[in-house]
Amino acid sequence: MRAIAATVLLAVVGLACRRPARARTPPADAGTVVTVYVAPKAVDRLMGRLTRFAASHQWALSVRTDSAALAEADLVVAESAGVLVGRLRSGSPAAAQARQLADAVLK
């Protein structure tokens, strides 16, 4: 019985002495705000995919459906002949992230 108690005690002490796991290092572009204009009819189809992808990269996502967003958005998603297409704004500070988002969501 003492051998079992000693084994259990050593196991508990061993677990207590383990170093805590390090926090995962955030990606270099974490916190980037990506603004996306989505046509009002397509919001329901895309919102889940957009938020999942942005969250997995730790990006802040702004999804807009107002007409003013057409000129300001990093990514514009519109419907063309029944197919959703993405257009990137040239000179956007989040152009690389917007391209990744478009590639992942508009497959």
Tell me the pLDDT band of 30, cut-offs 50, 70 and 90: confident
Confidence (pTM): 0.72
Residues 6 or more apart whose CB falls under 8 angstroms from that of 32 comprise 59, 60, 94, 97
Residue 53, classed as helix, strand or coil, is helix
**pLDDT score recorded for residue 7:** 47
DSSP state, residue 32: -
Domain ranges of the chain: 26-105
CATH number of 26-105: 3.40.190.10
Tell me the pLDDT band of 14, cut-offs 50, 70 and 90: low
Q: Tell me the CA distances in angstroms from 56 to 33, 40, 91, one per residue in order.
A: 14, 24, 24
Summarize pLDDT for 64-87 with one digit per residue, the tens: 999 999 999 999 999 899 899 999
Summarize pLDDT for 33-63 with one digit per residue, the tens: 999 999 998 999 999 999 999 999 999 999 9
The residue length of the chain stands at: 107
pLDDT at 25 exceeding the cut of 80: no
29: left (phi over 0), alpha (psi -120 to 50) or beta: alpha
Tell me the pLDDT band of 19, cut-offs 50, 70 and 90: low
